[in-house]
A and B are shown apart, each in its own frame.
Chain A
Amino acid sequence: MKIVVTVKLVPDTTADKRIDPATKRLVRTGETVLNPFDEYAIEAALQLKEKLGAETTVTVVTMAPERGKEVVRKALAMGADDALMLSDPGCEGSDVMGTAYALAGAIAKNGFDLVVCGTQSTDAITGELPGALAEFLGVPGLTYVRKLEIDGTTLRAERETDSGFLKVTTGLPAVVSVTKSINEPRYPSLKGIMGAKKKTIAPLTLAELALEHPIGSGGAKTELVALTDPPARGKGKVVEVSSGAEGAKVIMDFLHAKKLI
């Protein structure tokens, strides 16, 4: 069985994010890391591989510039078998649909039984890619999965909703996106880190994919019209009170008024 995991290079989650006002794109020159949500997808794929046996392979796929290799290596160090890396200047400026379309091309070319994605990335935070990927691949897409089992060619999953969860089954091939409650991602072991350099990161270009529609900034169906910084947090309200009891009442009234308690 062929499992594919999509991964993304994102700016260090602990660093301040900055947007270039000219291009309206996120400034990506600082430290980059593996999208934390993708670690759950990798872990889910590795756990399936451990259950299903050696016949199962886990391939990581990403669309990223050359320096994205470090992120891919982390996935390989965690235990993925190999990687596909679409590095092409033509990809620059792709919107989420363009990205999903190009990744679908790469995944279809490679062949797959199951695609596992993280719920969202920590930079754009659209959460749209898994659904779009399923559409472009023409297979069922199950998002927000918190439990995942494969039985032959049947996939059983629990999908999180606002009020509970749905138990669903589907056939393979399929695309799933997994939430943070599905597992606790492993650390890459030292053996994994040292072994990762021996694993293949196959380069891919847009020419090789021969996509029907254009991607990149020219192919983007969405346009970023305006950007505004979040409003600055105002000063807190300072209340002078004469006793602890009075203070407690003021706080309780405030919380009640906000319907927080």
Chain B
Amino acid sequence: MDFELSDEQRAIQSLCRDFAQSEVRPRAEAMDAAAEFPYDLVKKMADLGLMGLPFPEEYGGAGADTVSYALAICELARVDASTAITVAAHVSLGSTPFFLFGTEEQKRKYLVPCARGEMLWGFGLTEPQAGSDAGGARTRAELRDGSWVINGTKAFITNSGTEITGGTTITAITGTDERGRPELSNIIVPQDTPGFTRSKQYNKMGWRASDTRELAFQDAVVPVENLLGERGKGLHQFLKILDGGRISVAALSVGLAMGAYDEALKYAKERHQFGRAISKFQAIQFKLADMLCEIEHAKLMVLKAAWEKDTGRDFAMSASLAKLYSGEVSGRVVNDAVQIHGGYGFMDEYPVSRMYRDQKINEIGEGTNEIQRLVIARLMGL
């Protein structure tokens, strides 16, 4: 067994750490307060190759592995979860569907500019009435005169409305199968499609500097070739996409927890009460020890899932376990980090306050903790 990272993995981790600490960290507080999408940071990350990190070079990517990708997301989330989710959603949800299921032409047309970070792309599964019950989606796409005509609404779609968003791939009902059940397919909807509109940004509790919107389709028309992969494979496709996505959101949870731990440790050494640093009190030491222990545990789970994916193993169970566990760990860690900060932790001038707000979605997005437990139970064969 070998826990040593490769030279490339270490170099990518170190690059992302330098970038996050020097470029992202000084901006995180103001971006959160103003709910400002950081176009300049996205451009810089695109120039470095982060926006297409795990895709092959022939499709504009950097050709790095999943372990590197997880380490990159971790380092970004350690200073700013919003920036981390912008990258993670673009790579895992926006771009990966083209890579996994797109035709060669679709890969050239969409994956290449996405991987180069020239444009962002969204993935639209959730609807106002269909969250955990993703199969209950109502958005329909009908084939009329060689075009898909789309009607419906999508909710909480990341990266769907920035100035550099190229479009969103949505899941829609395209008919009924032989057993009378809705047939789901994924359809590529470019931003300039007539009948396709985006709401203004949601006003969110956390991830405030990421772009999240509601999408409306009113007789939106796209050409028939905008079907992603095969017709009727929508369910199969999004389950596969979510499997991989879990590794990146788990990495995001671990990174966020590491960031909160960093802040709590620093504060505990600086803050004096009763004549000494509060880090000298056992009550604080035990909290910090528990935090580090759980973070290490979650990190190993994430890296194992990433390693399984890189080595061609079935990683569905590991990814689900890592996503569930790291999400819950991040919750306990940010809670204790704020507790260690006392009253100052409740003030926005300390990063833990933002981290506390940014954390909650880690237990909801891309499968709630409850759904995650169901997924795990199903993988157990129950």
Find A189's partner among B7, B10, B49, B63 (CB 8 Å cutoff): B49
Residue A139 at the chain B interface, CB threshold 8 Å: no
User: Are B11 and A73 touching (Cβ within 8 A)?
Assistant: yes
State in angstroms the CA–CA spacing of A77 and B19 once bound together: 15
**Interface stretch (choices A174-182, A191-199, A228-236, A237-245):** A191-199
Of all chain B residues, which has the CB nearest A34? Answer: B14
Find A188's partner among B15, B53, B57, B63 (CB 8 Å cutoff): B15
Residue A254 at the chain B interface, CB threshold 8 Å: no
Residue A74 at the chain B interface, CB threshold 8 Å: yes
User: Are A190 and B50 touching (Cβ within 8 A)?
Assistant: yes
User: Are B10 and A190 touching (Cβ within 8 A)?
Assistant: no
Residue A50 at the chain B interface, CB threshold 8 Å: no
A197: B residues at CB distance < 8 A: 7-8
User: Are A190 and B53 touching (Cβ within 8 A)?
Assistant: yes
Residue B134 at the chain A interface, CB threshold 8 Å: no
User: Are A70 and B18 touching (Cβ within 8 A)?
Assistant: no
Q: A70-B7, A196-B11, A197-B7 are in contact. Are A190 and B19 (CB under 8 A)?
A: no
By a beta-carbon cutoff of 8 Å, the part of chain A in contact with chain B is: 69-70, 73-74, 77, 187-191, 193-194, 196-197
State in angstroms the CA–CA spacing of A74 and B7 once bound together: 10
CB-defined A-B contacts under 8 Å, sample of 7: A74-B11, A190-B50, A190-B53, A190-B62, A190-B64, A191-B49, A191-B62
State in angstroms the CA–CA spacing of A187 and B21 once bound together: 13
A259 to chain B, nearest CB (A): 31
Contacts A187-B19, A188-B11 known; list 14 others, CB within 8 Å: A70-B7, A73-B7, A73-B11, A74-B11, A77-B11, A187-B18, A187-B48, A190-B49, A190-B64, A191-B49, A193-B12, A193-B15, A194-B64, A196-B11
Q: A187-B15, A188-B15 are in contact. Are A194 and B62 (CB under 8 A)?
A: yes
Residue B163 at the chain A interface, CB threshold 8 Å: no
B10: A residues at CB distance < 8 A: 70
B63: A residues at CB distance < 8 A: 194
State in angstroms the CA–CA spacing of A112 and B57 once bound together: 34
User: Are A190 and B7 touching (Cβ within 8 A)?
Assistant: no
Of all chain B residues, which has the CB nearest A191? Answer: B49
A189: B residues at CB distance < 8 A: 47-49, 62
Q: Which 10 A-B pairs have the closest CB atoms?
A: A190-B49, A190-B62, A193-B11, A189-B48, A189-B49, A191-B49, A194-B63, A193-B8, A187-B15, A187-B48
State in angstroms the CA–CA spacing of A70 and B12 once bound together: 12
B 67-83 binary contact with A (CB < 8 Å = 1; else 0): 00000000000000000
The number of residues on chain B lying at the interface, defined by a beta carbon within 8 Å of a beta carbon of chain A, is 18
By a beta-carbon cutoff of 8 Å, the part of chain B in contact with chain A is: 7-8, 10-12, 14-15, 18-19, 47-50, 53, 57, 62-64
Which of B7, B8, B11, B62 has the most C-beta atoms of chain A within 10 angstroms of its own C-beta?
B11
State in angstroms the CA–CA spacing of A194 and B63 once bound together: 7
State in angstroms the CA–CA spacing of A196 and B57 once bound together: 14
B14: A residues at CB distance < 8 A: 74
State in angstroms the CA–CA spacing of A194 and B50 once bound together: 12
State in angstroms the CA–CA spacing of A74 and B17 once bound together: 14
B64: A residues at CB distance < 8 A: 190, 193-194
A196: B residues at CB distance < 8 A: 8, 11
Of all chain B residues, which has the CB nearest A73? Answer: B7
A74: B residues at CB distance < 8 A: 11, 14
Of all chain A residues, which has the CB nearest B8? Answer: A193
B53: A residues at CB distance < 8 A: 190
Of all chain A residues, which has the CB nearest B50? Answer: A190
Q: A70-B7, A197-B7 are in contact. Are A190 and B18 (CB under 8 A)?
A: no
B18: A residues at CB distance < 8 A: 187
Of all chain B residues, which has the CB nearest A193? Answer: B11
B48: A residues at CB distance < 8 A: 187, 189-190
B62: A residues at CB distance < 8 A: 189-191, 193-194
B12: A residues at CB distance < 8 A: 190, 193
A187: B residues at CB distance < 8 A: 15, 18-19, 48
Of all chain B residues, which has the CB nearest A76? Answer: B11
State in angstroms the CA–CA spacing of A18 and B57 once bound together: 43
Of all chain A residues, which has the CB nearest B53? Answer: A190
State in angstroms the CA–CA spacing of A167 and B48 once bound together: 35
State in angstroms the CA–CA spacing of A137 and B115 once bound together: 47
B57: A residues at CB distance < 8 A: 191, 194
State in angstroms the CA–CA spacing of A181 and B28 once bound together: 27
State in angstroms the CA–CA spacing of A100 and B63 once bound together: 39
State in angstroms the CA–CA spacing of A74 and B12 once bound together: 10
Of all chain A residues, which has the CB nearest B47? Answer: A189
B259 to chain A, nearest CB (A): 17
Of all chain A residues, which has the CB nearest B51? Answer: A190
State in angstroms the CA–CA spacing of A192 and B61 once bound together: 12
B50: A residues at CB distance < 8 A: 190
State in angstroms the CA–CA spacing of A29 and B63 once bound together: 32
A236 to chain B, nearest CB (A): 14
State in angstroms the CA–CA spacing of A77 and B10 once bound together: 12
State in angstroms the CA–CA spacing of A73 and B14 once bound together: 12
Which of A69, A187, A193 has the most C-beta atoms of chain B within 10 angstroms of its own C-beta?
A193
B252 to chain A, nearest CB (A): 19
A70: B residues at CB distance < 8 A: 7, 10-11
A117 to chain B, nearest CB (A): 22
A7 to chain B, nearest CB (A): 15
User: Are B8 and A194 touching (Cβ within 8 A)?
Assistant: yes
Of all chain B residues, which has the CB nearest A70? Answer: B7
B15 to chain A, nearest CB (A): 6
B198 to chain A, nearest CB (A): 30
Which of A188, A189, A190, A194 has the most C-beta atoms of chain B within 10 angstroms of its own C-beta?
A190
Of all chain A residues, which has the CB nearest B72? Answer: A190
B71 to chain A, nearest CB (A): 12
Of all chain B residues, which has the CB nearest A33? Answer: B14
Which of B10, B49, B53, B64 has the most C-beta atoms of chain A within 10 angstroms of its own C-beta?
B49
B5 to chain A, nearest CB (A): 11
